[in-house]
A and B are shown apart, each in its own frame.
Chain A
């Protein structure tokens, strides 16, 4: 580097000649363009932008110029440096992008490979459907009530207007707890939960009672001695059969689809009067299969309706046994079997699949049905 010399003629300082500055700039631009990778670019950067690079050296010579020449030389050098810096940054961006692309490409994996953490298990569909039904009714403002499975005979039968020697009581195929005379049974339906609810709460009562029940049937494709029911009970002022129909229609639509409805057929149950069977409009064919042999429906057997459960207006004798004022309150109740519901709703063919505990049965449902 030359020392300051006020008497120097600026044109005499060679590195500051316009031609020379242009050449230096072009050499740098050329070197960056030729750099094939980041390492080469770093080398070129050292050569053309480093402390010892021609442009840096030229920059230092500016100070050696007389004041009148410094401005012009400074502008010339400055614009050349800017061009070199910009060219470097542009090339760096390209090369970095290329580098990253190459690197990511080499890190490609087979994302379809399995992993070792345990897979999600599964709920039993009987639990899932029971919870789904509970959700439908809690959304209406009802409560979910539960009770014991070994139950007092009085609550299972007498409180529900099953007379001691009435055939209806015999039809329940009851498991009795030893010794005879213990007055306790395995509950044959979830109705004792209704009786308990009426004994412990004051109306208005709006409850849904899911639970396991027992009858002395042998296990076969359509029967099981241990099965699940869900029952609903409402006791309030002015409750009518129309309210029962409205509730069942809502229930049917929540479980099986919009626009469907329930149908009632007269029947007999000791705890309701009037009583009815509940049929459900076939959610598959919606009745289109009836009298239409070209479009048979397996779900409803081309009947258009599916038998679902029983229901009725709570027999005032049942309210009376629970100490509820029958002049003021009336109620309705309904109940259906969950296994049967799963059979037609989810196409389960054989009751035994539901009770044998084969994990494959639960696993096909996962956590939602």
Chain B
């Protein structure tokens, strides 16, 4: 809502000299969101006067232009002579003349200057030169005949200096979508009287107006019509009216439309005007029937929904109530008799129609936020008055008034309720005063007289004060005031939020972060310690991502949760794997020159439940039942927390120490080990084939027999598809599953102080036997004396033979209670080797 200060001043006696900024500041403290204050004409200083064209001489110039050497009456004895480049004026016209010494908006200083062979003593101004914006006329401003007298101050006349407050109105403050509402707030803020623009005399007879029938009184509780006959549809809207519309952000169109818009801005009541001659028969307000259509004012034909509330006449629909009128009955250049509609519609009905037709109008924005239901008669009168005054119409005293609106209900609350909500010493007297100032009627009720009990939802705990009760009736323009806390807010904001004390509430002792939260932090810290950098990216994916990953058509990860209104049709799905978005992030980084990259991201993935039913919408009047809460949760996809890692380029660089190491499959697998170590779980690895990984270089990671993810080198095609260097690698782990396997507590084992015995074992085994399995076999055979085992060499070659490899392990033995003898160690070693012989046909390699 754009509010020119001059308009506001008409209804609030603001202290002299206060600026738009001052008012804005006050309104902000009162709870209005004043986004900007535009200072129109801020840089303008006179003299700027009205001049009457006495004569002009066209003088063609060498450059092809024709200037006019013009004399003007500016209210002085001698005419003022100026050079003018425009030609849209005639002798006798009133124009705006800026004289030497003046400064126009934009710092344009005016002086007498020599030009085109004359001394021009000022200039005749165009709309944009005056800071009024481009009026599209491409010429100088010509005033209406008789609008002013030569010599008049044009700054005053054209209201060239004005501050405009731009206010973002919150949904509960619909009444502030009007000068009237903002004026009320300003009057309260400054503690001055409000001159209510709606306080005018209604001359209507309450009967005999244009016939109207309302079939749906729930949706349309008030419908008023007035008729004005014999208007001049071509009468221009006066400059002040146009000016105010422009400042308020609306475009002047014609007198009929401008007046209805003006009254809507001033009072907040949307108005619709019909050309009476184009109406046929009774106006009926009813719901649409299937298949009905309407061409709205914006020349779009709209299919109507049975829920739409319509204004109809004998010809059919002539408007979607409260949203937009129809083209067939609109006021045109030939309209002489106007039927004015001022009505009150249900906010929900209007909101739905507006949304259904994707049609948000000035009217619907107001009705959705509720309009004062007491306004229609006054607003219709105001429109009629203005049409009579400005377009020469005759107001008919005939008036249609349908009004089934019930009066606002009183609410009873504790007199100290606001003080209890605020935790501040607000007296009952002060509460009452603030409630009255926002328009409430307040009566004090002694507690316990049996006639009144506090309304529900009044939080009254924490005080034993017996302050009595208040019965509060909100004003018609504040339908948002329903609950005790609504009234408390009005009191506290006028009491001043700044005056509420600051008290830190003592919470009962907590337990700090949960185990899962601590584990997540540890994982992230471990990854950073391993040189990885955390990134974030959006969770939206599409089929192209899955194709690029090489996922087969029936891959589980292609079954996604889809969005009904995605940002991009290419990415309509929520991620089932973090890899596509992290791979794209990697691609972006590589493209920006970060070729040696190690990044990670954690985030939820969204796994649809095949049997999911729609989530219910339980009543909000009480806690939903446990079954309903269960149903709310069952409607959701599974959303486990995943980790994804991408490694490209070098893991360690080449340098003065020697050659660096490329980041490869082993680094990716090591990341899986690091993450597992961080939370104390032992991962079990095995080779598997799974997209998007290299079929021979993908490790499946399991803990406690459950697969928790994969790590390895990416398939060459995947690297290509995502624009990554060859042999990039990646990891994806289900952190939720991994952390679930973590031990909840660790019991310390005593450790032996007896000496260690070291034994190395080299085994020739089939090439496809995994190191992990051979290691496990050795450990199994070595028994309890084994302290640790470590693979330290892998060898293939001619000496070993085709299809075989040699694995060398370092074993450490130790007993808790004695020094091991050579015989004991040899026996343990032999037992270890024997298991590998039995299991893999291993042969010990000697020498």
Contacts and interface: CB of A to CB of B under 8 A. Distances in A.
Contact of A114 (B585, B617, B655): B655
Nearest to B618: A154
A201 interface: no
A304 to B, nearest CB: 12
B553 interface: no
A266 B420 contact: no
Contact of A116 (B422, B456, B618, B657): B657
B218 to A, nearest CB: 14
B504 A152 contact: no
Contacts of B28: 265
Interface in B522-543: 524-525, 527-539
Contact of B536 (A114, A330, A357): A357
Interface string A110-135: 00011111111111101100010010
Interface string A260-274: 010111111000011
B629 A316 contact: no
A288 to B, nearest CB: 19
B500 A241 contact: yes
Nearest to B637: A150
Contact of B585 (A165, A184, A315, A357): A357
A143 interface: yes
B614 interface: yes
Contacts of A241: 421-424, 492, 497, 500
B171 A268 contact: yes
B620 A127 contact: no
A357 B404 CA distance: 59
A126 B603 CA distance: 13
A150 B636 contact: yes
B588 A358 contact: yes
A187 B286 CA distance: 37
Contacts of B639: 148-150
Nearest to B503: A246
A107 to B, nearest CB: 17
Interface string B385-419: 00000000000000000000000000000000000
Interface in A148-165: 148-155, 158-159, 161, 163-165
A178 B560 CA distance: 10
* Interface of chain B: mostly helix, strand, loop or mixed: loop
Interface in B593-649: 594, 597-601, 603-604, 606, 612, 614-618, 620-624, 629, 632-633, 635-637, 639
B622 A116 contact: no
Contacts of B561: 150, 177-178
A236 B504 CA distance: 13
Interface residues of B, number: 120
A266 B488 CA distance: 12
Contacts of A178: 561-564, 572
Contact of B528 (A120, A181, A355): A120
A77 interface: no
Contacts of A121: 527-534, 598, 600
Interface stretch (B287-295, B321-329, B459-467): B459-467
Contacts of A144: 513-514, 517
Interface in A250-305: 250, 261, 263-268, 273-277
A336 interface: no
Contacts of A263: 497-498
Interface residues of A, number: 110
Contact of A317 (B567, B614, B615, B620): B620
Contacts of B355: 170
Contacts of B589: 357-359
A267 B563 contact: no
A3 interface: no
Interface in B170-187: 170-173
Interface string B356-381: 00000000000011000000000000
B449 interface: no
A242 B500 contact: yes
Nearest to A200: B629
Interface string B539-569: 1000000000000000000000111111100
Interface of A: 113-124, 126-127, 131, 134, 138, 140-144, 148-155, 158-159, 161, 163-168, 170-171, 175-184, 186, 199, 204, 206, 212, 216, 218, 225-226, 234, 236-243, 245-247, 249-250, 261, 263-268, 273-277, 313, 315-317, 320-324, 326-330, 354-360, 362-363, 367
20 contacts: A121-B527, A123-B524, A149-B539, A149-B604, A150-B636, A154-B624, A170-B355, A180-B564, A206-B508, A240-B420, A240-B424, A242-B424, A242-B502, A261-B502, A315-B483, A327-B460, A357-B601, A360-B592, A363-B533, A367-B528
